């Protein structure tokens, strides 16, 4: 049996519940959101520990800020990671599930790794107000486990793209490996490309922090200026390093991909160059350029997420696999339910974000009565709960009959 035939036989015989390109678009969008917070967790957890060991009250304050932010960002990372995981399972199920089985112990273990990482990060945050160096061990452990989780996810994602090697990993020396205790593939430039980006985005996050708290009367203005300038410098240095690593990654790709001619690749490079130029300009006035840089950075992440999907299609295309040829078994009901829930979620999260933004930017009480989203978010949540109850009861009654 050829690799192409094997992949076809591993596809879900029920097909996909909606047009594959819709899942692909949602995969790109949700992965972009997920990877932003992954980057902030990696960069932020490192900065929390690094700043803890530096002398000076500014570094100690920065350590406390990142210690607190890491617990929040890690929560968002896990929550936002569910969506792209589900979408990749739908359209790339032969690749994803096989890779998971080949490294099953690691894939299950990542749950415990993340739980421990979150627990240690929270302990570090709670204890970071004490003046004892040994407290840093909790932050170091958390950062180490976060990196381990990143290695696991990178490896499982990458080995999914190498189906010609699966049999050799599964059967070695005529012995079948049923334990899933090994990680079989790792691509250093690909891994570094995401890790280095963490520090670039963390630098921009520091610039946004400076912009956000600029008008707070109860915070030392000199500290705010220092955070912004330090963040701008970090973002510039690591953006340059990421571009160098990007060239290394490009050279490691199969030559027959001709990846450098892809129009999405050219767009991504253009956005990265614009980001670099604006970062250079922002060194003198980080607060002024914080918002434009955040926008450009988000576009850059979205472009890289799209580029990642193009690269995956090139990898699987070597085996005549195309998600556009997947059997269609359209389910309008489940698709409509998902879209309604998605839109409702955006409105509710938008309201909560607005509340947090307004309250955090001022040291004085803020009047939130004028927010129109407040009533909508409550009504939509009630409507969604009622809808789910009705659907659940209907399915239960029909099943009993």
**pLDDT value at residue 336:** 85
Which comes out higher in pLDDT, residue 145 or 15?
Answer: 145
User: Could you give the C-alpha distances from 358 to 208, 228, 273, 298, 347, in angstroms and in order?
Assistant: 15, 20, 33, 22, 17
Band of pLDDT at residue 385, cut at 50, 70 and 90: confident
Which comes out higher in pLDDT, residue 247 or 174?
Answer: 247
H helices, E strands: number in the chain:
13, 2
DSSP alpha helix (H) spans, 54-135: 57-91, 93-102, 104-127
What is d(CA 357, CA 211) in angstroms, rounded to the nearest whole number? 12
> For the chain, percent helix, then strand, then coil, each to nearest 5?
80, 0, 20
Share of the chain above pLDDT 90, in %: 61
Band of pLDDT at residue 38, cut at 50, 70 and 90: very high
Lowest mean per-residue pLDDT among 223-232, 298-307, 317-326, 359-368 = 359-368
pLDDT above 70: residue 129: no
Residues in the chain, overall count:
401
Highest mean pLDDT among 124-133, 267-276, 322-331: 267-276
Angle between helix axes 57-91 and 20-53 (nearest 10 degrees) is: 160
Chain-wide mean pLDDT for the chain? 90
What is d(CA 201, CA 304) in angstroms, rounded to the nearest whole number? 14
pLDDT above 90: residue 105: yes
Q: What is the mean pLDDT of residues 316-325?
A: 91
pLDDT above 80: residue 365: no
**pLDDT value at residue 367:** 67
Pairing of strands 175-176, 171-172: antiparallel
Q: What is the mean pLDDT of residues 202-222?
A: 89
What is d(CA 140, CA 152) in angstroms, rounded to the nearest whole number? 18
**pLDDT value at residue 391:** 85
Quick one: which H or E segment has residue 171? strand 171-172
pLDDT above 90: residue 51: yes
281-302 tens-digit pLDDT: 999 999 999 999 999 999 999 9
**pLDDT value at residue 215:** 78
Band of pLDDT at residue 266, cut at 50, 70 and 90: very high
**pLDDT value at residue 162:** 94
What is d(CA 315, CA 223) in angstroms, rounded to the nearest whole number? 48
DSSP secondary structure string, 273-300?
Answer: HHHHHHHHHHTS-HHHHHHHHHHHHHHH
**pLDDT value at residue 401:** 58
**pLDDT value at residue 131:** 58
Angle between helix axes 286-317 and 263-282 (nearest 10 degrees) is: 160
Q: What is the mean pLDDT of residues 164-185?
A: 86
Q: Which residue has the tokens 């929270």?
A: 122
Q: What is the mean pLDDT of residues 15-27?
A: 91
What is d(CA 321, CA 324) in angstroms, rounded to the nearest whole number? 9
Q: Which residue has the tokens 């990642």?
A: 308
Q: What are 172's strand-pairing partners?
A: 175
Tokens of 192: 């570094």
Rounded (10°) CA dihedral 130, 234, 35, 157: -100
Q: What are 171's strand-pairing partners?
A: 176
């Amino acid at each position: 049996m050829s690799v192409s035939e094997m992949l076809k036989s591993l596809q879900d015989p029920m097909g996909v519940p909606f047009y594959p390109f819709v899942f692909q678009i949602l995969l790109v969008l949700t992965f972009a959101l997920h990877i932003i917070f992954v980057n902030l967790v990696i960069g932020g957890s490192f900065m929390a520990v690094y700043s803890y060991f530096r002398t000076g009250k500014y570094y100690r304050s920065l350590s406390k800020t990142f210690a607190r932010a890491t617990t929040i960002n890690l929560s968002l990372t896990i929550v936002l990671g569910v969506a792209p995981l589900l979408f990749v399972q739908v359209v790339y199920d032969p690749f994803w599930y096989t890779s998971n089985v080949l490294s099953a112990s690691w894939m299950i273990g990542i749950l415990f790794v993340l739980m421990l990482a979150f627990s240690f990060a929270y302990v570090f945050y709670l204890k970071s107000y004490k003046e004892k160096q040994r407290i840093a061990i909790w932050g170091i452990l958390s950062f180490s486990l976060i990196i381990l989780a990143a290695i696991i996810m990178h490896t499982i994602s990458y080995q999914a793209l190498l189906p010609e090697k699966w049999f050799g990993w599964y059967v070695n020396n005529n012995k079948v490996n049923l334990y899933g205790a090994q990680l079989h593939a790792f691509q250093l430039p690909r891994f570094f490309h995401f890790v280095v980006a963490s520090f670039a985005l963390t630098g921009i996050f520091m610039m946004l922090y400076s912009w956000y708290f600029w008008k707070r009367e109860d915070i030392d203005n000199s500290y705010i200026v220092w955070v912004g300038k330090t963040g701008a410098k970090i973002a510039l240095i690591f953006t340059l390093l990421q571009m160098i690593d990007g060239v290394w990654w490009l050279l490691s790709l199969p030559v027959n991909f001709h990846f450098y001619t892809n129009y999405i690749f050219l767009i991504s490079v253009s956005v990265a160059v614009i980001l670099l130029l604006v970062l250079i300009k922002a060194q003198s006035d980080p607060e002024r350029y914080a918002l434009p840089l955040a926008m450009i950075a988000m576009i850059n992440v979205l472009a890289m997420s799209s580029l990642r999907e193009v690269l995956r299609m090139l990898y699987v295309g070597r085996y005549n696999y195309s998600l556009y040829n997947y059997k269609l078994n359209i389910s309008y009901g489940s698709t409509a339910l998902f879209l309604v829930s998605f839109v409702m979620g955006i409105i509710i999260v938008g309201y909560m974000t607005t509340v947090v933004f307004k309250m955090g930017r001022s040291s004085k009480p803020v009047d939130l009565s004028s927010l129109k989203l407040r009533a909508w978010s409550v009504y939509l949540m009630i409507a969604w709960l009622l809808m789910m109850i009705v659907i659940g009861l209907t399915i239960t009654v029909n099943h009993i009959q």
